[in-house]
Structure 1
Amino acid sequence: MGDFAEIVDSNNFDIVGVTETWFNDDVNSADVSLPGFKLIRNDRVGRGGGVCVFVREHYKIKVIDMDFESESPVECLWIQLSIRKLSIVIGVVYRPPNRRKRKSKFSSFVNDVDLMLNYVCPMADCVFCIGDVNVNLLNSSNPLSECFSSYGFDQIIQEPTRVTLTSSTLLDPIFVKCPANFMGVSGVKNMCHISDHRLAFCECYVPGSKRVQKFITYRDFDDFDCEAFLSDLRSERWHSFTREPNINKKVQIFNDILLSVYDRYAPVRRRRISKPRATWLTERLRGLMRKRDRAFATFRRSGSADDWNEYKRMRNGTLAEIRRSKKSYLLAASSDGNEAVWKALKSLNVAKVNARAIPDCLKDAESISDFFSAFNGVAGDDACTDKISYYNSNSNRTEPSFHFKIASLEQIRTIMTGIRTKAVGDDDVTLDMLVHAFPVIESYVQHLVNSCIVAGVFPVQWKCAIGIPLPKTVEPTSCSDLRIISILPLLSKVLEKVLSDQISEYVNDFNLLPSYQSGFRRNHTLLLSPFLNMGVTSALRQVEGKREVSNDRVNNRERGYERDSAHSFKSLAEKPSGPGEELTSRAERCASTTEGVKLIISAISEELYGPIGLGRLVDPLVKEEAKQSASTLADSSGPVDG
Structure 2
Amino acid sequence: MAISVSSRQSTTDMMTSTSPKFHLLSESGLRVGHLNVYHLLNKVPDISSFLNNEHPCIHLLGLSETRLDYRMSDESIAIPQYLTFRRDAIKQGETGLAIYIHSSIQSITTRRADLESQSVESLWVEISHSKSPSLLVGFIYRNPTATYAWYDEFLVMLDKVADNKKNILLLGDLNIDLSKSHSAWESTYSLVGLHQLVNKPTRVTSTTDTLIDHIYTNRQDLVHNVSVPNIGISDHYPVLCTWSMKLPRHAPKGHTTIQYRTFKRFNKDIF
> Which TM bucket (shorter chain)?
0.5 to 0.7
Deviation at 1:191, TM superposition (A): 2.0
Match of 1:3 in 2: 46
**Pairing 1:42–2:82 present:** no
Tell which has more relative contact order, 1 or 2 (C-alpha 8 A, sep 6+): 2
| Aligned-pair CA distance for 1:57 | 2.5
Query: Is 1:63 aligned to 2:111, yes or no?
Result: yes
Partner of 1:514: none
Change (3 A) 1:128 1:140: farther
Q: Summarize the alignment of residues 196-595 of structure 1 with structure 2, pairs less than 5 Å apart.
A: 196-207=235-246
Q: Residues 56 and 127 (structure 1 numbering): CA distance in 2 closer, same or farther, change over 3 Å?
A: same
Contact 1:160–1:168 (CA<8 Å) still a contact in 2? yes
* Same amino acid, percent of matched pairs: 24
Partner of 1:184: 224
User: Match for 1:4: what amino acid?
Assistant: I
Q: Sort the Cα spacing of 1:6 and 1:208 in 2 relative to 1 into closer, same or farther, 3 A.
A: closer
Partner Cα separation in structure 2 for residue 68 and residue 4 of structure 1? 27
AA at the equivalent of 1:184: H
SS in 2 for 1:113: helix
* TM-score (structure 2 length as normaliser): 0.67
**Distance apart, 1:85 and its partner CA:** 4.1
Does residue 143 of structure 2 align to residue 96 of structure 1?
yes
Paired letter, 2:149: S
Letter in 2 for 1:54: Y
RMSD: 2.1
Structure 1 unaligned regions, length at least 5: 99-103, 210-642
- Offset, 1:34: 1.8
Paired position in structure 1 for 2:77: 32
| TM-score, normalising length: structure 1 | 0.29
Bigger Rg over Cα = 1
Q: Does 1:52 align with 2:98?
A: yes
Aligned length: 198
The answer to whether 1:169 aligns with 2:210 is: yes
Q: Which stretch shifts more, 36-45 or 53-62?
A: 53-62
* Cα distance in structure 2, aligned partners of 1:199 and 1:179: 20
Cα deviation digits, residues 303-331 of structure 1 (max 9, x gap):
xxxxxxxxxxxxxxxxxxxxxxxxxxxxx
Is the Cα–Cα contact under 8 Å of residues 125 and 178 in structure 1 kept in the other structure?
Answer: no
Query: 1:54 deviation in Å?
Result: 1.2
Does structure 1 retain, via aligned residues, the 8 Å contact 2:228–2:237? yes
What are the ranges of 5 or more consecutive residues in structure 2 without an aligned counterpart?
A: 1-43, 249-271
Pick closer, same or farther for the CA change 1:135–1:46 going to 2, 3 Å: same
Give the conservation status (yes or no) of the 8 Å contact 2:65–2:95. Answer: yes
Per-residue deviation at 1:110? 1.0
CA contact (8 A) 1:77 1:92 kept: yes
* Distance in 1 between residues matched to 2:110 and 2:247, nearest whole Å: 22
**Post-superposition shift, 1:9?**
1.8
1:67 is displaced (CA, Å) by 5.8
Separation (CA, whole Å) in 1 of partners of 2:134 and 2:155: 21
Does the 8 Å CA contact 1:42/1:52 hold for their aligned counterparts?
Answer: yes
Q: What amino acid maps onto 1:5 in structure 2?
A: S
What is the distance in 2 between the residues matched to 1:156 and 1:108? 24
Correspondence for 2:162: 121
Q: Secondary structure at the match of 2:163?
A: helix
* Larger helix fraction of residues: 1
Q: SS where residue 189 of structure 1 aligns?
A: coil
Shift of 1:140: 4.7
Cα distance, 1:158–1:4 mapped onto 2, change above 3 Å: same
Inter-partner Cα distance in structure 2 for 1:120 and 1:156: 19
Decide whether the 8 Å contact of 1:24 with 1:45 is kept in 2: no
Equivalent residues of 1:38, 1:57 under 8 A apart: yes
Instruction: Kindly report which structure 2 residues correspond to 1:128-143, keeping only aligned pairs within 5 A, or say none.
Output: 128-143=169-184
**CA distance in structure 2 between the partners assigned to 1:7 and 1:110 by the alignment:** 33
The secondary structure found in structure 1 opposite 2:53 is helix
Distance 2:193 2:100 in 1: 26
Cα 1:170–1:62, aligned 2, differ >3 Å: closer, same or farther? same
Please tell me the residue identity of whatever aligns with 1:39: T
SS at match of 1:89: strand
CA, structure 1 residues 206+161, in 2 after alignment: closer, same or farther (shift >3 Å)?
A: same
Distance (Å, rounded) in 1 between the aligned partners of 2:165 and 2:229: 28
2-side partners of 1:38 and 1:146: how far apart? 36
Residue in 1 that maps onto 2:196: 155
Cα separation, partners in 2 of 1:10 and 1:113, compared to 1, 3 Å: same
- 1:69 positional shift: 5.4
Aligned twin of 1:108? 149
Output the CA distance in 2 between the equivalents of 1:58 and 1:8: 14
CA distance, structure 2, for counterparts of residue 160 and residue 68 of structure 1 = 28
CA 67–184 in structure 1, closer or farther in 2 if over 3 Å, else same: closer
Change (3 A) 1:67 1:128: closer
Q: Deviations over 1:108-150 (max 9, x none)?
A: 1111111111011232532111111111122354322222222
In the TM superposition, residue 208 of structure 1 has moved relative to its aligned partner by: 6.8
Counterparts of 1:126 and 1:52, CA distance in 2: 21
Distance 1:118 1:68 in 2: 11
Q: 1:75 aligns with which of 121, 138, 141?
A: 121
Which structure's residues are more often strand, by fraction?
2
The separation in 2 between residues aligned to 1:208 and 1:191, in whole angstroms, is 27
Answer yes or no: is the 8 Å Cα contact 2:231–2:238 preserved in 1. yes
Q: Secondary structure at the match of 2:199?
A: coil
